[in-house]
């Protein structure tokens, strides 16, 4: 009272105003539930509301005033920020205040995804940080064990795509590519495997796991990557990797060429 702060109205008074906050406390209540006392033959006043009841009141009140935090919080936050910026501009007219609506931009991208060439079946799938209470775990980066990373495609040949089975044509059209753009033209496997020389150029540590699976690991329980299907009839296959892309290679013989390029030659 000395600070001039208003008292909070009790939650059970449904006609009260909660504009300043809500009081969930009940005088004489206990932190332990009723069952703790009844099983021990301890009699307590029936008007007592233990802590668990008060917490449930809090959750009910929260649900009545809040939307789903994962679905609508960004929209609410943007609206609140806009109103605050207006007030700030009025108070500080000589200050330039600039903001960016990342949520709105990303939402627009998701809504127009089919028109922009994105695969709608994978829009909401995490490629990095998979898992966690909100489908995200900052400790599980791309390329770590169990986390889906780059798919090991080359040219425009993607995992499990029907174009991998084409044998009679040299060049083919893809109309539903898993990655944008949706329409692509690519050589088929028989043409690539008949080449005299093939160069695989890979950069970035996010692809290190895929490189490891293709070059080092031939176990049958490993995922089948299109790059594994490059088996030249007579030619040479040369891999050009930066050091991050080659960081998970094990027993493969590596020759250093310069500071950033690791070359692996298969005769």
**What digits encode the pLDDT tens for the residues 86-99?**
788 888 888 887 77
pLDDT band, residue 44 (cuts 50/70/90) = confident
Domains observed in the chain:
9-65 (no CATH), 162-266 (3.40.50.1360)
DSSP SS3 for 240:
strand
Long-range CB contact pairs, 161-165, < 8 A, 24+: 163/188, 164/189, 164/226, 164/229
The model's confidence at residue 262, banded by pLDDT at 50, 70 and 90, is very low
Q: Which of 203, 216, 194 is nearest to 243 (CA)?
A: 203
**Proportion of the chain above pLDDT 90, given as a percent:** 0
Which sign does the torsion angle of CA 24, 26, 30, 35 carry? Answer: negative
Given pLDDT bands bounded at 50, 70 and 90, which one contains residue 208? confident
Higher local confidence (pLDDT), 251 or 76: 76
Give the lowest-confidence range in 12-26, 28-42, 251-265: 251-265
For residues 192 and 45, the model is more confident at 192
* pLDDT of res. 263: 38
Are 246 and 208 contacting, i.e. CB atoms less than 8 angstroms apart?
Answer: yes
Q: What are the tokens at 23?
A: 């009081």
**Calpha distance 160→101 (Å, rounded):** 38
pLDDT band at residue 127 using 50, 70 and 90 as cut-offs: low
Q: What is the mean pLDDT of the chain?
A: 74
Torsion of Cα atoms, 51 then 52 then 56 then 57, to 10°: -30
Bridge partners for 232 per DSSP: none
Handedness of CA 38, 41, 43, 44 (dihedral sign): negative
Which is more confidently placed, 229 or 131? Answer: 229
Q: Rounded mean pLDDT of 212-224? A: 64
């Amino acid at each position: 009272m000395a600070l001039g702060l208003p008292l909070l109205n009790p939650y059970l008074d449904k006609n009260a105003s909660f504009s300043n906050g809500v009081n969930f406390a009940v005088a004489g209540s206990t932190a332990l539930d009723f069952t703790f006392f009844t099983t021990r033959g301890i009699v307590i006043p029936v008007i007592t509301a233990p802590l668990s009841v008060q917490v449930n009141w809090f959750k009910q009140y929260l649900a009545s005033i809040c939307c789903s935090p994962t679905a609508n919080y960004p929209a609410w936050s943007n609206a609140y920020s806009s109103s605050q910026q207006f007030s700030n501009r009025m108070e500080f007219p000589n200050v330039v205040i600039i903001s960016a609506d990342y949520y709105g931009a990303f939402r627009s991208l998701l809504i127009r995804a089919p028109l922009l060439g994105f695969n709608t079946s994978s829009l909401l799938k995490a490629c990095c940080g998979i898992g966690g209470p909100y489908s995200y775990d900052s400790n599980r980066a791309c390329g770590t064990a169990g986390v889906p990373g780059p798919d090991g495609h080359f040219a425009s040949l993607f995992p499990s795509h029907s174009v991998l089975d084409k044998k009679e044509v040299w060049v083919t059209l893809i109309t539903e590519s898993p990655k944008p753009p949706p329409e692509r033209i690519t050589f088929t496997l028989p043409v690539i495997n008949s080449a005299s020389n093939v160069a695989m150029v890979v950069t970035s540590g996010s692809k290190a796991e895929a490189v490891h699976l293709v070059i080092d690991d031939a176990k049958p329980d490993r995922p089948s990557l299109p790059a594994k299907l490059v088996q030249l009839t007579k030619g040479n296959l040369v891999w050009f990797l930066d050091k991050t892309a080659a960081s998970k290679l094990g027993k493969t013989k590596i020759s250093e060429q310069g500071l950033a390029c690791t070359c692996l030659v298969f005769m």
